[in-house]
């Protein structure tokens, strides 16, 4: 079982003719200005040239030195940044290669043909997720669209319900509120030849979110997966999203193989290697996170069932909810959300505009009528986990989690009190742990991540507070 090898060198940008680079930036500017609506509806973002060059450097050139009939594909190619880059920067190696780009938008294809950016690249108009070519590819490289497909104004990629159902039927990794970049990864791997290489820049959310659990399993079963973390600044200010480069080799020799790496200061460094990966959540690791996990005997999910509040669509359609202010407020309770939750404090004011009769609170969620711990996990600003005890038993909505104590022999041995758990969850120890394990992957943790949070006994909590580990 071999490992993907990265040369011990600095990844300087490839040589690009200055006048060609200027021309290409002009083309980007034209498309940015003229096709803003198209870009938004299709989840398009141009890749910075330095990242294009970095990804081109990841191509395993040794595979192609004696190979004929090389086929290279860029899905959702837009201005064909990667294919143009290959032709421009590695002309000798890929002189005979057949280059293919798939693009769904005719306006972009028309622009490409007008200015002749793509040269002899074969540009195909099609929906990549429905495309069924008769050939396979040695290399698939690019920047797939990001977004949840829907006609709803809340989602970025405008796809009609019938097309979305076709996607669901075609892709085994489709699960929950699936992001289309996951389907692009699956389709690309299916189109690779044995030992073929996939290089995509994508968000890192597939590493941890439940919606991608089938995709992670799919990756582990079909080859070797290297994830190179780039951080949150690649697409700013156009998009506030963290990015990774997925470098995947389709091969039985790589089965159950994972490498997590980081690109910083023009160097790739290894964070961890898992030779037995089977699609589990991929987390970052540091000495600090190892220390916390070693000290704590429990995980939060061992002690608590964790539930999430009703989301806005459910609230809007609930027969128990009213939007206008009731005549007799004393018979009603306001619905609270994340803005009402602070560290060890709940603000019992109506910030949502929604109300429910006190007598019907239990009909919304059965556990709303008992005191319990509530947790908010939006930590964009300071990494804090906001936790408090809802003694007044109010109804909630949105991204707020509810901890319901299990009653079994295992949990009876756990001796941390509710107030101590609140202090722990609100502590800088937990804030630091979450920031180091999940970096900037997402600004809201899921139930799965919350369940895996280390949880100490009373003795272990005292030990944590005495250690100088912050």
Tell whether 276 and 129 lie within a shared domain. yes
User: How far is the C-alpha of 333 from the C-alpha of 326, rounded, in Å?
Assistant: 10
Please tell me the predicted confidence (pLDDT) of residue 88. Answer: 80
Q: What was the pLDDT predicted at 65?
A: 77
Is 139:85 a contact under the CB 8 Å cutoff? no
Examine residue 6 and state whether it is found in any structural domain, yes or no: no
Tell me the DSSP string of 108-151: HHHHHHHHT-STT-EEEES-TTT---S--EEEEEE----S-B-S
Using CA atoms, how far apart are residues 360 and 127, in angstroms rounded to an integer?
A: 48
| Residues 255, 142 share a domain | yes
Domain interval for residue 297? 290-466
The reply to whether 318 and 276 lie within a common domain is: no
Q: Where are the beta strands (DSSP E) in 413-469?
A: 454-455
Task: Report the candidate in 77, 117, 79 with the shortest Cα–Cα distance to residue 101.
Answer: 77
19-22: long-range pairs with CB below 8 Å, 24+: 20/88, 21/49
Are both 141 and 249 inside the same structural domain? Answer: yes
Residues 48 and 148 in one domain: yes
The reported pLDDT for the residue numbered 32 is 52
CB 325, CB 464: distance < 8 Å: no
Same domain, yes or no: 253 and 337 = no
d(CA 9, CA 82): 22
Which residue, among 227, 232, 233, 220, has the nearest Cα to 271 in the 3D structure? 227
| Residue 258 within any structural domain of the chain | yes
327 pairs with which residues across the strands?
none
Distances (CA, A) of 449 to 20, 208, 387, 418: 46, 8, 16, 20
Residue 11 lies in a domain: no
182, with CB counted inside 10 A (0-12, 13-18, 19+), is: buried
Burial class of residue 334, CB neighbours in 10 A (0-12, 13-18, 19+) = buried
For residue 214, being part of any structural domain is answered with yes
Residue 296 lies in a domain: yes
Q: How many domains is the chain partitioned into structurally?
A: 2
Phi, psi of 269, deg, nearest 5: -125, 145
Q: DSSP state, 253?
A: G
Domain limit, last residue, from 228, 252, 282: 282
The pLDDT, as a whole number, for residue 257 is 87
- Do 215 and 305 have their domain in common? no
The secondary structure of 442-453 as a DSSP string is -SB--HHHHHTS
Cα distance between the two ends of the chain = 39
Split the chain (470 residues) into runs of 10 and give each run's mean pLDDT. Answer: 45 38 49 49 66 92 83 93 86 83 88 69 94 96 91 77 95 95 98 96 95 97 96 74 94 81 92 94 95 96 95 94 85 94 93 95 95 79 76 95 88 89 94 92 84 96 84
pLDDT at site 13: 38
Residue 207 falls inside a structural domain = yes
Q: What is the pTM of this model?
A: 0.85
Q: Which pLDDT does position 117 carry in this prediction?
A: 61
Q: Does residue 1 sit within a domain?
A: no
CATH number at residue 113: 3.40.50.150
Q: Is residue 13 part of a domain?
A: no
CATH of the domain at 401: 3.90.220.10
> According to the model, what pLDDT value does residue 34 have?
54
Last residue of a domain, one of 220, 247, 282: 282
Whether residue 82 sits in one domain with residue 112? yes
Which positions are catalytic?
Answer: 143-144, 146, 235
Give CA–CA dist 44/81, Å, rounded. Answer: 13
What is the CB-side half-sphere exposure of residue 195 using CA atoms within 13 A? 8
DSSP run (H or E) holding 470: none
Q: Which residue has the tokens 């799919």?
A: 218
Name the one residue in this structure whose structure tokens are 């999430």. Answer: 308
3-state secondary structure of 280: coil
Q: Are strands 71-74 and 98-103 parallel, antiparallel or unpaired?
A: parallel
Q: Is residue 333 domain-shared with residue 245, that is, in the same domain?
A: no
User: Do 230 and 204 belong together in one domain?
Assistant: yes
335 and 262 together in one domain? no
Residues paired with 74 in a beta bridge? 101
Phi-psi group of 142: left, alpha or beta (phi > 0 → left; psi -120 to 50 → alpha; rest → beta): left
**8 A C-beta contact, residue 177 and residue 169:** no
CB count within 10 Å of CB 68 equals 7
**454, 337: one domain:** yes
pLDDT confidence of residue 82 = 94
Domain boundary, last residue among 282, 315, 340: 282
């Amino acid at each position: 079982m071999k490992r993907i090898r990265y040369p011990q060198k600095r990844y300087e940008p490839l040589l690009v003719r200055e006048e060609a680079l200027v021309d290409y930036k002009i083309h980007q500017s034209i498309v940015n200005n003229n096709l803003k609506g198209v870009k938004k509806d299709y989840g398009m973002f141009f890749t910075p040239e330095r990242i294009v060059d970095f990804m081109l450097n990841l191509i395993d050139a040794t595979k192609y030195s004696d190979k004929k009939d090389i086929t290279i594909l860029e899905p959702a190619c837009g201005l064909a940044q990667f294919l143009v880059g290959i032709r421009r920067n590695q002309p000798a190696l890929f002189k005979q290669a057949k280059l293919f780009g798939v693009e769904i938008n005719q306006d972009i294809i028309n622009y490409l043909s007008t200015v002749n950016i793509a040269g002899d690249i074969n540009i195909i108009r099609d929906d990549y997720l429905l495309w069924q070519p008769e050939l396979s590819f040695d290399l698939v490289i690019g920047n797939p669209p990001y977004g949840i497909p829907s006609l709803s104004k809340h989602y970025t990629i405008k796809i009609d319900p019938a097309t979305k159902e076709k996607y669901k039927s075609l892709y085994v990794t489709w699960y929950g509120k699936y992001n289309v970049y996951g389907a692009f990864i699956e389709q690309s791997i299916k189109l690779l030849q044995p030992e073929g290489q996939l290089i995509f820049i994508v968000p890192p959310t597939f590493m941890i979110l439940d919606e991608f659990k089938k995709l992670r399993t799919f990756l582990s079963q079909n080859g070797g997966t290297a994830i190179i973390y780039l951080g949150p600044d690649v697409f700013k200010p156009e998009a506030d999203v963290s990015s990774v480069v997925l470098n995947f080799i389709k091969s039985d020799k790589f089965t159950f193989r994972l490498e997590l790496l980081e690109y910083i200061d023009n160097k790739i460094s290894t964070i961890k290697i898992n030779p037995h990966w089977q699609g589990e959540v991929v987390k970052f690791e540091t000495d600090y996170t190892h220390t916390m996990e070693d000290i704590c005997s429990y995980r939060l999910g061992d002690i608590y069932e964790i539930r999430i509040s009703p989301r806005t669509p459910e609230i809007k359609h609930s027969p128990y909810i009213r939007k206008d202010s009731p005549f007799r407020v004393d018979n009603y309770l306001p619905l609270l959300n994340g803005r009402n939750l602070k560290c060890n404090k709940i603000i019992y004011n109506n910030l949502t505009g929604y109300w429910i009769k006190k007598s019907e609170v239990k009909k919304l969620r059965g556990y709303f009528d008992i005191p319990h711990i509530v947790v908010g996990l939006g930590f964009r600003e300071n990494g804090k986990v906001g936790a408090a005890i809802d003694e007044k038993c109010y109804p909630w909505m949105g991204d707020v989690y509810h901890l319901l104590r299990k009653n079994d022999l295992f949990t009876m041995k756990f001796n941390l009190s509710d107030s101590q758990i609140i202090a722990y969850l609100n502590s800088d120890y937990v804030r630091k742990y979450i920031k180091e394990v999940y970096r900037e992957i997402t600004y809201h943790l899921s139930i799965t991540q919350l369940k895996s949070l280390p949880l100490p006994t009373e003795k272990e909590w005292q030990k944590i507070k005495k250690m100088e580990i912050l």
